[in-house]
């Protein structure tokens, strides 16, 4: 039954994505993070207190995310088993973000297709942390490819990994870890102390899924007739060409599969950040690389689903 529930959640994500006006637990988690951050900042007068407050923030948010999800599932199961199944499918679906990621990337792609660079920059600003105001079309395409490659791990491979490992409560706890990192896990003066624990714990949570993504992207590249050998070799060679211990695994695999370079200099919060180059500059990046990366993302997600199902089947869990 569990495998059927998780497959149903996967299909729902592919069909529905993330309708902006629907209730969504991840948005509720984000609101809780913002409010607790404000309280911690009011109570913390020194940097050391912010480090401690950041630990408290992480523990409270992740524990509540797991605990509330578990309680909701228990409560709905007591109402009726099928109510419990429906809520389980819905909550599992909300931990996945493949369709949403593709939709956001396609908004940038369509604006570029129409030659509207200002709209391209505006749509891009919703999905990246860098300053987009002065980016040209190749830089915009590069930013979208990097975002889709990186977030294939955060949005699909990792949440499915924790979904199959520990059910919906653990997957929701992972999403809390990931949301904390995206909101406070920055290495800048404002968040260096408060977000330290969140950043480190996100690195830990994504360690295995990120490395799995390298192999899955290579297999997807083979099936799509991209450069599978490049995905493997560049993915391995450039796996540490990023300040994060995880991000370059998927980005380097995509760069190798497409024969392009990612990384380079970008502006974040008014500061110039020089990132190492990832991949070989075999050709100039182009708008259609966004579509190629989306296809890779979808196929990698399907492959990850089958890998997890296969592992669960072999060890005999999730079949009842």
Q: Where are the domains of the chain?
A: 2-315
Contact call for residues 88 and 5 (beta carbons, < 8 A): yes
The whole-angstrom separation of Cα 140 and Cα 118 is 11
Distance between CA 196 and CA 212 in Å, rounded?
25
Instruction: Please answer whether residues 108 and 287 qualify as being in contact, where contact means their C-beta atoms are separated by less than 8 angstroms.
Output: no
- Nearest Cα neighbor of 65 from 32, 89, 101, 34 is 32
pLDDT under 70 in the chain at which residues? 269-271, 317-320
Digit-coded pLDDT (tens) for 104-126: 999 999 999 999 999 999 999 99
pLDDT of amino acid 275? 83
Q: How many CB atoms lie within 10 A of CB 229?
A: 12
Is 0.85 surpassed by the pTM of this model? yes
pLDDT at 320: 47
In this structure, the dihedral spanned by the alpha carbons of residues 9, 300, 199 and 168, taken in order and rounded to 10 degrees, is 20
Buried b (16+ CB within 10 A) or exposed e, 59-98: eebbebbbebbbebbeebeeeeeeebbebbbbbbbbbbbb
Rounded CA separation 148/145 (Å)? 5
- Inter-axis angle of helices 207-223 and 196-205, to 10 degrees? 50
SS3 state at 126: coil
Give every CB contact of residue 81 below 8 A, 6+ residues apart in sequence: none
What CA–CA distances, in Å, run from 171 to 65, 94, 222, 256?
A: 9, 10, 29, 30
Q: How confident is the model at residue 269, as a pLDDT?
A: 63
Nearest 5°: the CA angle 301, 304, 305 is 90
């Amino acid at each position: 039954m569990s495998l059927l529930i998780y497959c149903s959640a996967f299909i729902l994500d592919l069909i529905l994505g993330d309708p902006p006006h629907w209730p969504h637990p991840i948005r509720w988690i984000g609101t809780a993070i913002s409010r607790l951050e404000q309280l911690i900042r009011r109570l913390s007068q020194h940097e050391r207190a912010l480090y401690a407050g950041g630990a408290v923030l992480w523990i409270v948010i992740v524990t509540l995310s797991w605990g509330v999800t578990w309680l909701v599932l228990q409560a709905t199961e007591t109402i009726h088993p099928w109510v419990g199944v429906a809520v389980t499918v819905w909550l599992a679906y909300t931990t996945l973000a493949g369709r949403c990621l593709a939709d956001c990337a396609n908004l940038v792609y369509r604006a570029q297709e129409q030659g509207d660079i200002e709209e391209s920059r505006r749509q891009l600003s919703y999905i990246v942390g860098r300053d987009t105001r002065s980016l040209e079309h190749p830089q915009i395409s590069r930013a979208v490819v990097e975002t889709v490659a990186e977030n294939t791990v955060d949005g699909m491979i990792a949440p499915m990994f924790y979904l199959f490992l520990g059910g919906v409560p653990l997957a929701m706890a992972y999403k809390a870890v990931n949301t904390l990192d995206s909101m406070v896990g920055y290495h800048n003066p404002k968040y260096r102390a408060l977000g330290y624990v969140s950043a480190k714990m996100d690195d830990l949570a994504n360690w295995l899924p990120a490395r799995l993504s390298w192999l899955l992207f290579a297999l997807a590249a083979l099936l799509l007739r991209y450069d599978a050998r490049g995905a493997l070799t560049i993915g391995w060679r450039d796996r540490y060409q990023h300040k994060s211990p995880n991000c370059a695994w998927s980005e380097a695999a995509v760069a190798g599969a497409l024969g392009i370079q990612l990384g380079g200099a970008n502006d974040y919060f008014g500061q110039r950040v020089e990132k190492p180059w990832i991949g070989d500059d075999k050709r100039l990046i182009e708008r259609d690389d966004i579509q190629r990366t989306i296809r890779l993302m979808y196929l990698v997600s399907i492959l990850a689903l089958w890998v997890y199902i296969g592992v669960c089947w072999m060890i005999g869990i999730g079949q009842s």
